[in-house]
Structure 1
Amino acid sequence: MANAGSATPILLLLGVVPPVRVKGNGQLEIVETVGKFLGQVLERVGNETLPSEAELMARIPDVFCWISWPELDKCVRDAANSYTAGQDSGDASVKRIAAFIHNAVAWHG
């Protein structure tokens, strides 16, 4: 956040959908999770250029995004099925990558 300038930084939670499991705290929503630990993190970081804790908390909906593994798999498969490179070898490469991602998600799931 201190170095973002006018850009909006993104924190991507890959493979999870809120509420998220927080060690020793059960499952919490994103705002609860960040609110629980942000003050301690800001003290430890000691960066005076960061926005205030209240400003950072207000920006949570703009900064955090997430996608579950099944959603990611579906997005990749849908994109691969609608993609055309104009060459058979390009189309086949995209489909192989999509299949690799599908198999990895299935294997880890």
Structure 2
Amino acid sequence: MPDPQPPAPLANTSVLGRLLEEISWEGRLVRGYRNGGRGRENVLTAEVLGPLSYLPRSTFLAAVFRAAHGADETRELLAREAEQSQLTLLPDESTLSPGGTVVQPDGLLTTPSCHVLIESKGMGKSAFQREQLSREYLCVLRDAGPARPLLLLIIPNEPPVPVKGHGRLSIEAAINLYLEPVLARTAGLDVPAEDVVARIPESVAWLTWSELQRAVADARIDLTAVPASVAGTVERLKADLLTAIDWHSQTARG
């Protein structure tokens, strides 16, 4: 009788585990987390996406997708498939070409029909890097394969968005800024530049942190038929998410 195959090693997929992995690379900057990470983009993202992944997704995650702007058909499909989604915080990096440009979004969400890169910006004055949106947009187009691609931006304020060295731009303009040179360095995406540009409206969406917070706060779910402990769990997770956004936003106001 052949020996049984050893079990595959468990991957680091938890929200806390992914956050700690990211923090471990920050060296001396790790001291900036002593106040609980207030104002830190990755901490805010973890404290929101974590509860959002555990709350009933057909109610709360679906409400977040429906509250966003742009790519209406894809967002509605995501809302319908929310319960089947797989969500990873700070996923492994992707390269646009072998040994080339690295892309690491803040989140990766997949459903049976969709492939979503999540890029979040904290409550402070952080700006997008010059090529960042061009890179992430082309990355999601390529990596989605036959699925519907979506680049979802969670930002502190409505567009235009700040881009280093270029002031504030519309999201489409920020993507177009370096699209041609980044496309030239992208392997596995054999699409004419004009077609890539034409797909931006159907492949990019955004919402603010306050809109996300309001979507979760206003989402309605009937908990009368479930045990009190289950209803309490839902309410506690929801409260943690809402409080996290309030807590981090105090840094921006202060």
TM-score by length of 2: 0.39
Amino acid at match of 2:178: F
Deviation, structure 1 residue 3:
4.0
Distance 1:83 1:105 in 2: 24
Structure 1 runs of 4+ aligned residues shifted over 6 Å read none
Q: Between Structure 1 and Structure 2, which shows a larger proportion of helix residues?
A: 1
- Written as runs of structure 1 = structure 2, the 5 A alignment for 1:56-75 is 56-75=196-215
- Give the structure 2 partner of residue 78 of structure 1: 218
Distance 2:161 2:154 in 1: 11
Q: Structure 1: give runs of 5+ residues left out of the alignment.
A: none
Give the percent of matched residue pairs that are identical in Structure 1 and Structure 2. 36
Q: Provide the aligned C-alpha RMSD in A.
A: 1.8
Q: Structure 2: give runs of 5+ residues left out of the alignment.
A: 1-140, 250-254
Q: 1:43 to 1:104 in 2, by over 3 A?
A: same
TM-score by length of 1: 0.85
Distance 2:241 2:216 in 1: 8
Deviation, structure 1 residue 5:
3.6
Amino acid at match of 1:92: G
- Give the structure 1 partner of residue 49 of structure 2: none
Asked which structure has the greater RCO (Cα within 8 Å, sep 6+), the reply is 1
Residue-by-residue CA offset, 1:21-68 (whole Å, 9 max, x unaligned): 1111111011111111111111222x2533211111111111111111
Question: Match for 1:97 among 229, 237, 249?
Answer: 237
Distance 2:191 2:229 in 1: 49
Deviation, structure 1 residue 70:
0.7
Residue 23 in 1 paired to residue 164 in 2? yes
Count residues in correspondence: 107
- Written as runs of structure 1 = structure 2, the 5 A alignment for 1:36-51 is 36-45=177-186, 47=187, 49-51=189-191
